[in-house]
């Protein structure tokens, strides 16, 4: 397909419905702008256009239960890390709305350390150097030492960053974190979908 034809499909998709957008997405895959894996991940996450592009006709209500839905992200390199950070950010945001310390060091939930750990993981995702791994190590151990309620997050990201005993995360390890996040199941799905779909259809 020529660039002009792809642009034309793009314009039609912008004005049209999901079918037009799915057709455009399929052409973007052919043109090498988006990978098939990226579209598959977006479809797994529940993006309606990606699901149409994949030819998945079963409804979004038939998606896997939360635990296996999250475990399924493990197939896509980088997805679980991003999901963990997205949920972590949402939890921290909800906490900060009520925390009187506003990041001060007397918060009983150690939110300043939680914030530091999230930043360390984000830096590691952007560039997983030895130094970045060391900073995740330090920041997550600080959470554990503080007896923070976010130890489950620390355990999950330590495994994801190769600091745990397992080279790859044991699926069950994450379960505790998602359940303790205080977010409802639809909220977890929404947060993860919003964070990961643009990434999946952009760079993956």
Contact residues for Zn ion, defined by CB under 5 A? 99, 101, 107, 111
Q: For Zn ion, which is the closer residue by CB, 107 or 188?
A: 107
CA angle, 119 then 120 then 123, to 5°: 85
- Cβ at position 108, least distance to Zn ion in Å: 7
Closer of 25 and 107 to Zn ion (Cβ): 107
Q: Are 114 and 143 in contact (CB under 8 A)?
A: yes
According to DSSP, residue 64 is labeled P
Contact 180, 149 (CB under 8 A): yes
Residue 126, judged by CB atoms within 10 A of its CB (0-12, 13-18, 19+), counts as: exposed
CB of 90 to Zn ion, least distance (A): 15
Q: Which is nearer to Zn ion, 111 or 155 (CB)?
A: 111
| Rounded Cα gap, residues 140 and 32, in angstroms | 38
Q: What is the CA radius of gyration of the chain?
A: 19
Cβ neighbours around 170 below 10 Å, total: 15
Of residues 95 and 179, the one with the C-beta less far from Zn ion:
95
Please tell me the distance from the alpha carbon of residue 86 to that of residue 135, in angstroms, as a whole number: 19
Name the residue nearer to Zn ion (CB basis): 108 or 198.
108
Output 173 or 183, the one with its CB closest to Zn ion: 183
Phi-psi region of 132 (alpha: psi -120 to 50; beta: other; left: phi over 0): alpha
- Shortest CB 121 distance to Zn ion, Å: 19
What letters, b where the CB count within 10 A reaches 16 and e where it falls short, cover 1-14? eeeeeeeebeeebe
């Amino acid at each position: 397909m020529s660039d002009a034809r792809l642009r034309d499909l793009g314009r039609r998709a912008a004005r049209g419905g999901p079918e037009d957008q799915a057709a455009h997405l399929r052409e973007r895959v052919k043109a090498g702008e988006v990978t098939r894996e990226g579209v598959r991940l977006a479809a797994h996450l529940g993006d309606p256009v990606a699901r149409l592009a994949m030819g998945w006709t079963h409804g979004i209500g038939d998606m896997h239960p939360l635990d296996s839905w999250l475990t399924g992200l493990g197939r896509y390199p980088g997805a679980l890390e991003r999901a963990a950070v997205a949920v972590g950010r949402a939890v921290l945001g909800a906490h900060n709305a009520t925390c009187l310390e506003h990041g001060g060091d007397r918060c009983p939930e150690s939110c300043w350390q939680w914030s530091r750990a999230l930043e360390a993981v984000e830096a590691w995702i952007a560039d997983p150097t030895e130094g970045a791994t060391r900073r995740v190590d330090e920041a997550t151990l600080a959470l554990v030492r503080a007896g923070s309620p976010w130890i489950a997050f620390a355990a999950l990201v330590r495994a994801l960053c190769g600091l745990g005993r397992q080279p790859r995360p044991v699926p069950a390890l994450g379960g505790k974190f998602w359940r303790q996040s205080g977010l409802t199941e639809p909220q977890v799905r929404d947060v993860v979908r919003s964070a990961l779909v643009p990434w999946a259809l952009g760079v993956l």
